[in-house]
């Protein structure tokens, strides 16, 4: 009997725990349901697609979160801001233009437009200027008798035939040939002088050692045989100063030729080239362009041309930069009301408005979108409300079942307790009878 009572108590406790769980679930579901708007779902609502590409909030039968619906439909929400944009579109466009123009006028690349314009006009000349600056002029400046490399003349032929005259180039090349021949003659004399000096020293060594070799009686230069080494030394000593004098004259002449060539290079090459490029300050412009990132300047100029509708081939200098860009841009800045939050409208524009087809961007279509989103929201809320109602009913049924089982088990337990009491009374009564029998 006790075993059955214990089982009934355990079952009763299990149903009690379940009952509390279902009551807690019901309470949570009812609280969630209380936050929903119970409404009758509309049979239909006009759908209108606003955006060129699919946007989650713009697709048919959209399913947004509560926070997303609220962001669009609440007062001062996204749709209100889009309508505010539509009402202030012209002012917003002016504000945006003002903002862009001010950014351009303060841009660090604005003055570089002059250099960019020059570089565009001088695309053909820039390689020529570079060749002149990096190779030709340094070679000319370092030219001397000992540094008489004329490879740079080939660059002049390749780059500057329109500036340097052919007859001037021929004159310079002829002078170079004379210089080369003169220097080579001087070098040959130097070799002869060295040979004479070496021969004299060898003869002296032989004389000191009292050794006479017939081969050393022959002059190493002219081949004349002399009767004795002493006569050969006398011959060498006689002609060596003459050779040195001739060599000196050759080198002096080479120096004069080199000086003449230097003058020719300056007069016939440097001056014509620099005159040609200095007419429009090209060398200074080239040096300035080298230190600037003109790709950024090109992007900036493209923006300016779009705003001012400038011709693609317009030429800019310091004066035209002021007259064609700065002044016209400043003239396009107009006052806009300070009480309108254009920064907020701009954020809405970047996030939503720029995706909307322009033909559909009006107050009527935005209002239709508001109605459609409200319809989708109400439909979603109604469906959630009904689902929660079904879950609440199911949980309530389960809770009622637990309660009924607890009551049923309570009755069973009471019945078992009553039977146990009756059984105990009967047992006690039977024991008492035994006592009477045993002890009369």
Q: What b/e readout covers 16-34, taking b as 16+ CB neighbours within 10 angstroms?
A: eebbeebeebbeebeeebe
User: How far is Cα of residue 251 from the mean position of the Cα atoms in its chain?
Assistant: 62
Contact 321, 111 (CB under 8 A): yes
Determine the 3-state secondary structure of 222 from DSSP: coil
- In whole angstroms, what is the distance from residue 365 CA to residue 98 CA? 29
Q: Where are the alpha helices (DSSP H) in 106-228?
A: 113-121, 126-131, 137-141, 152-159, 166-208
Q: Is the backbone of residue 281 left (phi > 0), alpha (psi -120 to 50) or beta? A: left
CA distances from 27 to 36, 117, 383, 396 (A): 15, 76, 19, 10
Structure letter (DSSP) for residue 17:
H
pLDDT band at 214 (very low <50, low <70, confident <90, very high): very low
Half-sphere exposure of 404 (CA within 13 A, CB side): 6
Torsion angle of C-alpha atoms 60, 87, 308, 354, degrees rounded to 10: -20
Query: Taking each helix axis from N to C terminus, what angle separates 78-87 and 363-438, rounded to the nearest 10 degrees?
Result: 170
- In whole angstroms, what is the distance from residue 93 CA to residue 336 CA? 10
Please compute the mean of the pLDDT values over residues 233-261 and round it to a whole number: 70
Inform me whether the pLDDT recorded for 213 exceeds 50: no
Q: Which residue has the higher pLDDT, 381 or 98?
A: 98
Closest CA to 275 of 360, 162, 396: 162
pLDDT value of residue 330: 95
Closest CA to 183 of 146, 220, 157, 155: 146
CA distances from 139 to 112, 132, 150 (A): 32, 10, 8
CA distances from 270 to 153, 174, 284, 309, 342 (A): 12, 18, 16, 42, 60
Q: In this predicted model, what pLDDT tens digit does every residue of 151-188 receive, in sequence order?
A: 788 888 888 888 888 888 888 888 888 877 777 776 67
Q: Which two tokens stand for residue 221?
A: 């230069």
Q: Which two tokens stand for residue 121?
A: 């006009």
Q: Which residues pair with 225 in a beta bridge?
A: 218
% of the chain exceeding 70 in pLDDT: 78
- Matching residue, tokens 């409404």: 39
- In whole angstroms, what is the distance from residue 399 CA to residue 392 CA? 10
- In whole angstroms, what is the distance from residue 29 CA to residue 390 CA? 10
pLDDT band at 231 (very low <50, low <70, confident <90, very high): low
Q: pTM value?
A: 0.59
- In whole angstroms, what is the distance from residue 376 CA to residue 61 CA? 7
Which are the contacts of 114, defined by CB distance < 8 A and separation ≥ 6? 316, 317, 318, 321
Q: What is the CA radius of gyration of the chain?
A: 56
pLDDT value of residue 247: 61
Q: In this predicted model, what pLDDT tens digit does every residue of 367-385 receive, in sequence order?
A: 999 999 988 888 877 777 7
Closest CA to 64 of 378, 388, 349, 354: 378
């Amino acid at each position: 009997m006790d075993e059955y009572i214990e089982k009934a108590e355990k079952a009763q406790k299990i149903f009690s725990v379940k009952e509390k769980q279902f009551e807690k679930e019901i309470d949570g579901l009812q609280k969630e349901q209380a936050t929903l708007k119970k409404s009758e779902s509309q049979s239909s609502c006009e759908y209108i697609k606003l955006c060129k590409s699919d946007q989650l909030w713009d697709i048919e039968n959209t399913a947004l979160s509560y926070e997303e619906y609220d962001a669009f439909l609440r007062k001062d929400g996204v749709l209100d801001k889009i309508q505010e944009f539509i009402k202030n579109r012209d002012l917003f466009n002016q504000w945006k233009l003002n903002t862009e123009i001010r950014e351009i006028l303060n841009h660090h690349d604005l003055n570089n437009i002059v250099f960019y314009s020059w570089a565009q006009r001088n695309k053909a000349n820039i390689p020529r200027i570079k060749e002149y600056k990096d190779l030709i002029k340094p070679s000319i400046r370092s030219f001397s008798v000992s540094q008489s490399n004329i490879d740079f003349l080939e660059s002049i032929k390749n780059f500057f035939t329109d500036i340097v005259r052919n007859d001037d180039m021929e004159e310079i090349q002829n002078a170079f040939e004379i210089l080369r021949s003169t220097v080579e003659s001087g070098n040959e004399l130097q070799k002869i002088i060295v040979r004479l000096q070496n021969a004299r020293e060898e003869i002296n060594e032989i004389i000191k050692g009292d050794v006479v070799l017939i081969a050393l009686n022959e002059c190493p230069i002219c081949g004349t045989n002399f009767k004795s080494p002493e006569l050969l030394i006398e011959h060498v000593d006689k002609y060596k100063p003459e050779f040195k004098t001739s060599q000196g004259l050759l080198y002096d002449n080479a120096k004069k030729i080199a000086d003449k060539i230097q003058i020719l290079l300056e007069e016939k090459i440097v001056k014509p080239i620099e005159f040609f490029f200095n007419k429009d300050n090209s060398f200074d412009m080239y040096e300035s362009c080298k230190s600037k990132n003109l790709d950024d300047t090109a992007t900036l100029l493209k923006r300016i041309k779009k705003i001012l509708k400038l011709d693609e081939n317009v030429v800019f200098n310091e004066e035209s930069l002021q007259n064609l860009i700065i002044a016209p841009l400043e003239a396009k800045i107009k006052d806009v009301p300070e009480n309108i939050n254009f920064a907020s409208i701009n954020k809405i524009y970047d996030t939503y408005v720029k995706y909307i087809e322009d033909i559909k961007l009006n107050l009527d279509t935005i209002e239709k979108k508001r109605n459609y989103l409200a319809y989708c929201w109400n439909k979603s809320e109604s469906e959630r409300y009904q689902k929660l109602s079904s879950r609440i009913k199911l949980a309530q049924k389960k809770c009622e079942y637990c309660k009924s089982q607890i009551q049923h088990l309570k009755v069973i337990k009471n019945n078992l307790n009553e039977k146990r009491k009756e059984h105990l009374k009967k047992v006690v009564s039977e024991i008492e009878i035994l006592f009477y029998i045993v002890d009369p």
